[in-house]
A and B are shown apart, each in its own frame.
Chain A
Amino acid sequence: MIELKHIVKEYNKKVVFNNINLAIEQGQSAAFIGHNGCGKSTLLKIIAGLVSPTEGTVCLEKGKLIHYVPEHFPQMNLTAMRYLLYMGKMDNLESVILPTHIHKLAEEFFVANMLDIPMKYLSKGSLQKIGVIQALLKEPDILLLDEPLSGQDVMSQQVFIQKMQELKKHNVTILMSCHEPYLVDAIADEVYQIVDGKIVLANPELAGKVQKYMMLFVRTKKADIPENWKGCLQFTEQGCILRVEESECDRAMVEMLEAGWNLRGMCNENDI
C-alpha cells in the first residue's frame, strides 16, 4: 500500500535519511521512534507527499484518504466548532449530522465546552485535541500521527488510545511518530527506530513484547523525583503515573515510596 524506495533526504547538506526502504500494508500500524530531530515528522510528511525526498520514490495507492494530526496544532481566529464544521464539509460529511458528530467527539475528549472559543485562546492540550478530532471526523484510509498526545491529559490519552484501537479494527493504517512508550505499546504492531539516517526494526522491548505495569502515585509534601525513574513518569494534577517493565516494578515502587510518594494503584497496561 505504501512503499518507500531508496529514500534520501538532505536538509542544508545534512543527511536526514540515507537510502531508506520501507513497505507498509493496509491496516498495519507502525510507530517511528528516535531522538528529537532524527526525522520522524519528516518521514511522515514524505509518506504523505507533503515533503519531497532528495532522492527515491514514495509509492502510495491512489485515492487513499490521509488524515494528519500535527505535533503543534496552530492557533487560529476561528472557533473550534467553526473550524471543525469546515473540515467536516471538506470531508463531504452531511451538514445535518456534522454538528452532532463534532459534539460527540468533543465530549469524548472533554472539550465540548471549548467549541465556541476562538482557537487562539485554547491551551496547547486543547488545541491538540481539536487536531485529533479533525482527523477523526471521517474515517481515513491512512492516519498520520505526529506526537499526537503532546499536552493531552491522562483521560483524553486513554480515549485517544481507544479510538486508535477502533480504527485498527476498521483496517485503518496508522503511522505515528512518538516518544511515549505506552502509546507505542498500545497502538503499534511494528516499531521502527530511526538511527543515523536509517530505519531499523526496533527490538522486542521497544515493540511492546515486554509486559509493562502502571503505578499511580500521589504527591506528598516532601515528595522528590527519583533520578532512575524520571523518564518513565507522566505527571498528573494530583501526582504521577509510573510505567515500568514487570521486572522493575518492585524496585521502582520502593524507590518511589522512599522518595515521598504514596501508591494509590497498580495495573498491567494491557488490562486497560
Chain B
Amino acid sequence: MKMIYEFVRYQYKQYALSAKWVIPFIVLLMVFRVMYSILPIDVVSNFSIMSLVLFLIMVGIGMTCQGIEPEVSEQIIILRMQSERKYYIGQVLFLGTLSGMVTVICLCYPVIVHYCCGKMLFTRNIHASDIIGGLLLMFACSFLGCMLGGIFSPRTIREREIRFTLPIACALISVVRIGIVAEVPISKYILWIVPPVSDVVGWFTREEYFQMGKIIGAFFILMVYGIVLAVIKVEWSKIRKF
C-alpha cells in the first residue's frame, strides 16, 4: 500500500511540474466567470450543470494525464512495484483523487462567492443537503470523465488521431445522449455504451432541493460506470503491455 501511495505522490509531482494542468485550469476559471456572472441562480440546477461541465473538463484532464509518464519510466516503475495491477491501480487512484480535488474547487467556489456577496449568488440559502448532493454528483461526474479520458492512453490506443477524437466524441455524445435518444429512440440500443451523464444529471435540473434517494442512485450509477471504465483501463493496459 505504501508503494502505491508513493507512486500516487510521484504522479502528482510529475503532473504539477508538467504544464498539462494549465489549460484545464484556465477553462475552469472561464466557466466560473460565465456561470456566476448572472445573479441569482438556482442551487440544484447550477450544481447539475456544473457537473456536466466538470465531466467534460475531466475528460480533457484524464486524456492529458496519460502523457505525463515516459514509457521507459513506466516500465521501470512497473518492475519496481512487481505488479502491473498495482501500477495501474495507482494511476486510477491518482485520477480519482485529482477528480476529488477539482470537485472540491468547483463546489467551494460558488459557496464562497455566495457568502462573500451577501448571499446574493443563489436564489435561496445553501443547506447541508445541497453541499452533500452537489459533492456526490460533481465527484461522480468528475471521476467518470477522468476515467473516460484516461482509458484512451498511448498504451491502449497507438493511433494518435483516434486517441484524441474518440474520447471527445464519447464525452460529447454522453452530454447530449438524452436528446439523441429522444429524437431517435432506436439509438438507445447503441448509446447505452456511452456514460449516462446527461440522463442522470437531467433528474435534478428542475428540482428545488436534492433528494437523497435520487442522489445516491445517481452517484451509484455514475460510479459504477466509472469503475467499469477503470477496470477496462487496467486490464486493457495489462493485455497490451509495451
Contact = CB atoms under 8 A, between A and B. Distances in A.
Interface of A: 45, 48-52, 63-68, 70, 72-74, 76-78, 82, 86-87, 89-92, 134-135, 144
A144 B75 CA distance: 12
B81 A77 contact: no
B242 interface: yes
Interface string B185-199: 000000000000000
A86 B9 CA distance: 8
A63 B6 contact: no
Main SS class of interface, B: helix
Contact of B241 (A50, A65, A73, A92): A50
Contacts of A72: 72
Contacts, number: 68
B77 A50 contact: no
A45 B9 contact: no
Contacts of A134: 76
A222 to B, nearest CB: 43
A85 to B, nearest CB: 9
A90 B75 contact: no
Interface stretch (B10-18, B41-49, B206-214): B10-18
A5 to B, nearest CB: 18
A114 to B, nearest CB: 17
A134 B72 CA distance: 13
A37 B151 CA distance: 31
B79 A66 contact: yes
B3 interface: yes
B10 A86 contact: yes
B118 interface: no
21 contacts: A45-B242, A49-B84, A50-B241, A51-B242, A52-B241, A63-B82, A65-B80, A65-B82, A74-B72, A77-B14, A77-B17, A78-B13, A78-B17, A87-B76, A87-B80, A89-B2, A90-B3, A90-B10, A91-B80, A92-B2, A135-B76
A74 B70 contact: yes
B6 A90 contact: yes
B37 interface: no
Nearest to B4: A90
Contacts of A91: 80
A186 B35 CA distance: 68
Contact of B73 (A45, A65, A66, A76): A76
Interface string B60-76: 00000000001111011
Contacts of A90: 3, 6-7, 10, 77, 80-81
A48 B241 CA distance: 11
A102 to B, nearest CB: 15
Nearest to B77: A90
Contacts of B70: 74, 76
Nearest to A79: B17
B94 to A, nearest CB: 13
A70 B17 contact: no
Contacts of B84: 49
B78 interface: yes
A80 to B, nearest CB: 13
A45 B14 CA distance: 25
Given A50-B242, A78-B17, 15 more contacts: A50-B241, A51-B242, A52-B241, A66-B79, A68-B75, A70-B72, A70-B75, A70-B76, A74-B73, A76-B14, A76-B73, A77-B14, A89-B2, A92-B2, A134-B76
A68 B76 contact: yes
A35 to B, nearest CB: 22
Interface string B224-242: 0000000000000000011
Contacts of B242: 45, 50-51
Nearest to B3: A90
Contact of B75 (A45, A78, A92): A45
